[in-house]
Amino acid sequence: MQHPQKDPETDAILIVDFGSQVTQLIARRIRETGVYCEIHPFQHAAQAAAKLKPRGIVLSGSPASTLDENAPTIDPALLDAGVPILGICYGQQALCMALGGTVEAGHHREFGRAELTVQKHSALTTGVWEVGTEHQVWMSHGDRVVTIPPGFEIVATSPGAPFAMIADESRRIWATQFHPEVVHTPDGSKLFANFVHEVCGVASSWTMAAYRDKMIERIRAQVGTGRVICGLSGGVDSSVAAVLIHEAIGDQLTCIYVDHGLMRLNESEQVVSLFRDHYNIPLVHVDASELFLRELTGQVDPETKRKIIGRLFIETFEAEAEKLGGAEFLAQGTLYPDVIESVSFTGGPSVTIKSHHNVGGLPERMNMKLVEPLRELFKDEVRVLGRELGLPESFIGRHPFPGPGLAIRCPGGITPEKLDILRKADAIYLDEIRKSGQYDKIWQAFAVLLPVQTVGVMGDGRTYEFVCALRAVTSVDGMTADFYQFDMNFLGRTATRIINEVRGINRVVYDVTSKPPGTIEWE
């Protein structure tokens, strides 16, 4: 992997977020081209542009209408920045409204696949689409442009959008009514590549080797001679963060691994062995399982469970930090999707993190500064960084595991007995997936012990035991998910093993739920 000759962030693309649920996918498509980009809410986009000095600007979609009284608008400073602009869906409509075009509300709604016909050559379509050809794109709009601004020309049309793609190439402005960032627009990635490379003139210089070197320098500059405590959850994110920080500052880092009694089978032992034996990173292993399980007794609401676990985590960190003589910094495996969500135009404090995945933010009373070396990365990028750091593939490739652990995979009340049943069933399920060679094809697979018991017949006796649900989903970036299509032989073999080997389960079902953008956890 080659190191770039200069800081790749000096060749960045700014993405202006108007609130679309797929804005993050724009960033993913651009980063896949090897170009750095950042997402900023529309209210702060001009300030972000002044700081970032982007080589190009992309305007996202939005659930809003440009005709609403308080509709999000484009800051005029962005239009005067002198760099290429690409508007997508709402971004196209907002551009047209700002530059003298008109938008019509609600009469020609278009959602789903559409056929686009190319009418004119464009720098954005060079080498991708020829004039006169038809291509599949993905539409999701209620309003549409009815008059384009002076200077713009029609590049492509669709049955529901006469201005499906427009351009004013003299001003270097392009706009699409469709969404090139979603996989349902098959050539979307190529359009983004044309925009960043050919139009904006940015080379593919953003690599994980460069990111690693940059973050090591940044960590050293931030921490100095201070001490850092890393909240190690056992997942990929916090583990990669810990190894990167240790590479930067060595024994100034101490990891605290809180065993809350809600981990998968043998997982605590694996985490401790990896960090103590393989990396020799100072590690405090706190067995707080009795405390967590005692406070979770009788709790059935999933959000209450998360809050209890989050509170106990923080309290444990505080206690261990005091034993260590205090620390100035707290390291977290915060990812870019968490950052985006917490500063979106809908609001939210900077420490707000998705509750289904993590266990809570940093309380002010801890008076510690955050070290978050992964806050610019997506999940799959973290895995690439982990490989760059030399973490074993068996660890890097593990499926995501939520901070609250099995607490949200055991709906209803939690008991040690139910957790033991769930761990064994989950281990068998994952073992069968690995044996069949399907583990790396799946984003996330896990067992859930449902709060339901059924009557069954096993041998010559009747049983009254729990129902186990199996789940497996495919995803590229964790934003959207679809169920994985196992064949019936696999499901039958796995169900038979679970029922035969795990006392307490007499029925196994497979969950075929798909998820739109948002959480892909069980609860």
- Residue 474: how many other CB atoms lie within 10 Å: 15
Q: Compute CA distances 36 → 207, 326, 389, 458, whole Å.
A: 9, 36, 20, 58
Out of 110, 181, 381, 521, pick the active-site residue.
181
Coil, strand or helix: which one is 308? helix
* Cβ-contact 41, 17 below 8 angstroms: yes
Q: Hey, is 471 helix, strand or coil?
A: strand
* 236-249 vs 208-223: helix crossing angle, rounded to 10: 60
Question: Which of these, 481, 226, 264, 269, lies nearest to 368 by C-alpha position?
Answer: 226
Measured CA to CA, the distance from residue 388 to residue 209 in angstroms comes to 7
Cβ neighbourhood burial of 307 (10 Å; 0-12, 13-18, 19+): middle
Let me know if 89 is a catalytic residue.
yes
Collapsed DSSP state (helix, strand, coil) of residue 416: helix
> Any idea what DSSP says for residue 275?
I
Decide: 463 and 455 in contact? Cβ < 8 Å. Answer: yes
**Which residue among 37, 38, 40, 89 is the active-site one?**
89
Q: Is 230 a catalytic residue?
A: no
- 184 is annotated as an active-site residue: no
Secondary structure class of 358 (helix, strand, coil): coil
Strands 369-371, 329-331: parallel, antiparallel or unpaired by DSSP? parallel
The residues carrying an active-site annotation are: 89, 179, 181
